[in-house]
């Protein structure tokens, strides 16, 4: 049984320009813009929501399957995922295109100029949960991706009776109120940040109460304020773990979702699952990039106890994690 994470798979190209963009933009020549910036550093980071979530799940001892479309430039990324025990059998290569790529240049004043090329991600609807042996799927994740594919995956999960975590986040702007409503209805879990929740209320016209009636569990993340879990009439406020250093916030939401998913598939109580999410998020914040953090399960459990203390709700889960670590060599 496995967790199948469907979502974007991308490379992030991060460049830095040692000057100031504004000194090279000529306001009286805006009808014939021709700008080129010589950048002095470039990093290529592995990104995309699906591998980000899967990577943290693998640190938590799971063997998730990523489902998504990539291009001809994906070979080394695939090898990296496989080296981290992530099943790449549902990653389809589109030979005549490139993997979705985010190109971002930052100047010395932190101004940014960016382009996002969708590339192979536009073909995500070629993939289907029907081809994934539905009975082997413990839980699906429907994360930001080509909007048509996202709508299709929701329908497939409904039809095949696959429990799913609905994570529309950045693509809320591209989904209709109707599609969002369809995605929320019957979701095992809806996870969004506060701002995204506001957009969902506006686009669907649904209230918080109506949304909690449609999805089994609703999780609203609030950045450094923590998160709120609403499930079966209960309300749990989940605190954060203060990171030891703050390297870069990118990917924090994806790390949080990995903790939540670990809790879902093992039936951990929500106050514990939420805290697993908070702790994974802290590890992500402490590194640059979205897949450069690392921990072993015994280290993770040790830090969990140091952060949250030993509580009778937490201990059975922490013991399970340690046993799981031994059995799975994690
Ligand atoms: N500054 C922080 N310090 C500690 N924990 C944080 C911080 N920011 C976020 N988190 C943790 O990560 C969770 C998700 O964060 P947030 O609400 O910012 O998600 P997001 O806006 O979807 O992030 P992303 O930028 O990855 O899309 C929070 O609920 C919290 O547990
Ligand atoms: Mg997010």
Q: What is the mean pLDDT of residues 87-109?
A: 96
Q: How many CB atoms lie within 10 A of CB 43?
A: 11
Task: State mean pLDDT over 59-68.
Answer: 97
DSSP state of 317: H
Residue whose CA is closest, atom 25 of ligand 1? Answer: 250
Q: What is the reported pLDDT for 330?
A: 65
Assigned token pair, 324: 């799981």
Task: List the structure tokens of 222.
Answer: 């609030």
| Arithmetic mean of pLDDT, 212-228 | 98
Using alpha carbons, select from 101, 79, 83, 103 the residue that is nearest to residue 91. Answer: 79
The pTM assigned to this predicted structure is: 0.95
The C-alpha atoms of residue 256 and residue 275 are separated, in whole angstroms, by: 9
Q: In this model, does residue 146 exceed pLDDT 90?
A: yes
Q: Among the bound ligands, name the one nearest to the CA of residue 225.
A: 1
Ligand 1 centroid distance, CA of 275 (Å): 12
**pLDDT class of 1 with cuts at 50, 70, 90:** confident
Give every CB contact of residue 61 below 8 A, 6+ residues apart in sequence: 297, 321, 324, 325, 328, 330
Return the pLDDT at 248: 84
| pLDDT tens digit sequence for 18-41 | 999 999 999 999 999 999 999 999
| Ligand 1 pocket mutation pick from 45, 220, 221 by most atoms within 8 angstroms of CB | 221
Mapping DSSP to helix (H, G, I), strand (E, B) and coil, where does residue 241 land? Answer: coil
User: What are the DSSP E strand ranges found in 31-145?
Assistant: 41-47, 65-70, 87-93, 100-106, 112-117, 137-142
Q: How far apart are CA 289 and CA 200, in angstroms?
A: 28
Mean pLDDT for the chain overall: 96
User: Which positions are catalytic?
Assistant: 254
Q: What percent of the chain has pLDDT over 90?
A: 95
pLDDT at 326 over 90: no
Determine the distance separating the centroid of ligand 1 and the alpha carbon of 279, expressed in angstroms. Answer: 11
| 3-state DSSP assignment of residue 274 | helix
Strand (E) or helix (H) holding 255: helix 252-266
- Going from the Cα of 135 to the center of ligand 1, the distance in angstroms, rounded, reads 33
Query: Which tokens sit at 263?
Result: 């809790």
Ligand sitting nearest the alpha carbon of 251: 1
Six token digits for residue 295: 């921990």
Contact by Cβ (8 Å): 15, 113: no
Atom of ligand 1 nearest to the CA of 222: 17
Please determine, for residue 265, whether its predicted confidence score (pLDDT) is greater than 70. Answer: yes
**CB of 278 sitting under 6 A from ligand 1:** yes
Nearest to 93 by CA among 65, 76, 74, 108: 74
Give the closest residue (by CA) to ligand 1 atom 15: 223
pLDDT of residue 329 exceeding 80, the answer is no
Q: From the CA of 60, how far away is ligand 1's center (Å)?
A: 19
Ligand 1: nearest atom to the Cα of 227: 29
How far is Cα of residue 73 from the mean position of the Cα atoms in its chain?
A: 22
Query: pLDDT tier at 49 (50, 70, 90 boundaries)?
Result: very high
Inform me whether the pLDDT recorded for 215 exceeds 80.
yes
Res. 269: pLDDT tops 70: yes
Answer yes or no: are the C-beta atoms of 190 and 143 closer than 8 Å: no
Backbone angles phi, psi at 236, to 5 degrees: -115, 125
Has residue 176 got a pLDDT over 70? yes
């Amino acid at each position: 049984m496995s967790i199948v994470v469907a979502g974007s798979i991308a490379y992030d190209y991060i460049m830095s320009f040692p000057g100031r963009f504004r000194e090279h933009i000529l306001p009286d020549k805006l009808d014939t813009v021709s700008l080129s910036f010589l950048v002095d550093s470039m990093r290529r980071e592995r990104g995309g929501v699906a591998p980000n979530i899967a990577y943290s799940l693998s640190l938590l001892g799971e063997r998730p399957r990523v489902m998504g479309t990539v291009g001809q430039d994906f070979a080394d990324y695939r090898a990296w995922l496989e080296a981290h025990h992530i099943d790449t059998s549902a990653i389809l290569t589109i030979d005549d295109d490139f993997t979705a790529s985010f190109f971002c240049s930052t100047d010395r004043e932190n101004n940014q100029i960016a382009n996002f090329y969708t590339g192979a991600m536009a073909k995500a609807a070629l993939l289907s949960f029907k081809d994934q042996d539905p009975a082997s799927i413990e839980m699906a994740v429907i994360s930001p991706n080509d909007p048509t594919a996202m709508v299709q995956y929701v329908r497939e999960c409904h039809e095949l009776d696959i429990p799913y975590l609905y994570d529309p986040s950045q693509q809320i702007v591209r989904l209709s109120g109707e599609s969002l409503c369809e995605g929320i209805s019957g979701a095992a879990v809806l996870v969004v940040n506060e701002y995204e929740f506001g957009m969902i209320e506006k686009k669907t016209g649904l209230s918080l109460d109506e949304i909690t009636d449609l999805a089994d569990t609703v999780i609203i993340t609030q950045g450094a304020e923590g998160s709120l879990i609403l499930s079966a009439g209960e309300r749990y406020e989940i605190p954060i773990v203060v990171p030891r250093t703050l390297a870069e916030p990118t990917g924090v939401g994806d790390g949080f979702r990995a903790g939540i998913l670990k809790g879902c598939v093992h039936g951990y109580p929500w106050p514990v699952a939420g805290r697993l999410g908070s702790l994974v998020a802290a590890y992500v914040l402490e590194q640059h990039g979205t897949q450069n953090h690392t921990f072993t399960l015994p280290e993770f459990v040790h830090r969990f106890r140091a952060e949250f203390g030993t509580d009778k709700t937490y201990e059975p889960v922490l013991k399970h994690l340690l046993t799981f670590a031994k059995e799975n060599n994690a």
